[in-house]
Amino acid sequence: MTMLSFSTQLATTPADGLESRVGNTPLLPLRRVTRGLPPRVQVLAKAEWFNPGGSVKDRVALHIIRTAIADGALTPGKRLLDSTSGNTGIAYATFGAALDIPVTLTIPANASPERLSVLRALGAEIILTDPLEGSDGALFVARRMAEEHPEAYFYANQYDNPANWQAHYQSTGPETFAQTDGRITHFVAGLGTSGTLIGTGRYLRLANPAVRIVAVQPETPLHGLEGLKHMATAHKPGIFDPDFPDRTVSVETEAAYAMMRRLAREEGLFVGISSGAAALAALRVAAELDEGVVVTIFPDAGYKYLSDKALWEEDAAAFSRSAVQTPVETT
């Protein structure tokens, strides 16, 4: 394939093509888990599993690919290389298959079997890394591969690539503002690469400087919130600005799991782990308000977590609603 054909494929994508389906995801109201909040407080969630690859990372992967082709960084004969905890890799593999771009991914060996199966089905080359080192270990392996074989790889580097946050500045931010008719008062998003929070938040602050930006992270360095980083102890992404959020809400792993189950059983929203954490943080923010519109991001659905039966088999009634009332945060 020539560089011209790469660019031509993107430029001539039909109106109903795969890439055209990225973004414009629904903004859904939470109704039952919000019982007890003041009547003039709304909590809304962007349902990012409506993207073709099944997660919010479709926005990032497609924009990184488009930017790299336009800049001449992704050229014929090179493989797209990046580290992933799963969702970004699936997005790369999805658009790589559609655009005939070979994809190599480093991913922790303890990633869910569902994610690994999807990646293999899409034709991605998978390099499993030490599970004890998590997403940071996968990142270091990808970085080393790129340094050792620069002729073989375009290193997408989602953690440091400005195209990551720019994807959200150009899409998630404008969508969110328009879908709330500009009424959004608080934006709540998890910290992984931090691209969703930074990009969406920058747009929202430009549109209305009064909007409060709230980051969500695990309470402790050792946690079970896949896709999220405890920024105080993790390798910090180059695109992350620690001074950008107005506040940071820290979330306990078990409380996030319990919220996942509540969302499934009380809202009909079968979402993933980071969505449970985001909902919990959004509800804690909302509980402090007399009025307002709190918007959060649900990054993916729960299908990629089905093999972890412990997530779903505990009694949802065991969740203590007091967790929604007691903020745990860092500044």
Domains delineated in the chain: 23-50+171-330 (3.40.50.1100), 57-155 (3.40.50.1100)
**CA distances for 114 relative to 121, 304, 307, angstroms:** 10, 5, 7
Tell me the range of 144-153, 221-230, 306-315 where mean pLDDT is highest.
144-153
Q: What is the DSSP letter of 108?
A: E
Mean pLDDT taken over the chain:
91
Average pLDDT over residues 243-259: 97
Label residue 1 by pLDDT band (50, 70, 90).
Answer: very low
Return the number of other C-beta atoms located less than 10 Å from residue 122's C-beta. 19
Write the pLDDT tens digit of every residue in 184-202: 999 999 999 999 999 999 9
**CA distances for 204 relative to 1, 173, 212, 258, 308, angstroms:** 40, 6, 9, 30, 36
Give the global pTM.
0.89
Amino acid at residue number 7: S
Average pLDDT over residues 233-244: 94
Label residue 312 by pLDDT band (50, 70, 90).
Answer: confident
> Annotated catalytic sites, by residue?
57, 274
What pLDDT was estimated at residue 227?
Answer: 86
Q: What is the DSSP letter of 272?
A: -
Query: What residue spans of the chain are helical by DSSP H?
Result: 3-11, 57-71, 87-99, 113-121, 134-148, 162-170, 172-179, 195-207, 253-262, 273-286, 310-313, 322-325
What pLDDT was estimated at residue 329?
Answer: 45
Taking alpha carbons only, the member of 259, 143, 244, 142 closest to residue 191 is: 244
- Is it the case that residue 311 has pLDDT exceeding 60? yes
Region for residue 29 given its phi and psi (left: phi exceeds 0; alpha: psi -120 to 50; beta: otherwise): beta
- Is it the case that residue 281 has pLDDT exceeding 50? yes
Label residue 13 by pLDDT band (50, 70, 90).
Answer: low
- Is it the case that residue 15 has pLDDT exceeding 80? no
210's CB contacts (< 8 A; 6+ apart) are 185
Tokens matching residue 201 = 């938040």
Q: Distance between CA 206 and CA 219 in Å, rounded?
A: 30
Label residue 300 by pLDDT band (50, 70, 90).
Answer: very high
Taking alpha carbons only, the member of 136, 142, 147 closest to residue 157 is: 142
Q: Return the SS3 of 294.
A: strand
What pLDDT was estimated at residue 325?
Answer: 47
- Is it the case that residue 319 has pLDDT exceeding 60? no
Tell me the range of 123-127, 134-138, 304-308, 309-313 where mean pLDDT is highest.
123-127
Phi and psi at 239, nearest 5°, equal: -85, -5
Higher pLDDT, 171 or 86: 171
Number of residues assigned to the chain: 331
Q: 295 near 44, Cβ under 8 Å?
A: yes
Tokens matching residue 51 = 């993207």
Residue percentage of the chain with pLDDT more than 90: 81
Average pLDDT over residues 115-124: 96
What pLDDT was estimated at residue 314?
Answer: 62
- Is it the case that residue 209 has pLDDT exceeding 90? yes
Q: Distance between CA 316 and CA 257 in Å, rounded?
A: 9
Residue percentage of the chain with pLDDT more than 70: 90
- Is it the case that residue 10 has pLDDT exceeding 70? no
Write the pLDDT tens digit of every residue in 43-99: 999 999 999 999 999 999 999 999 999 999 999 999 999 999 889 999 999 999 999
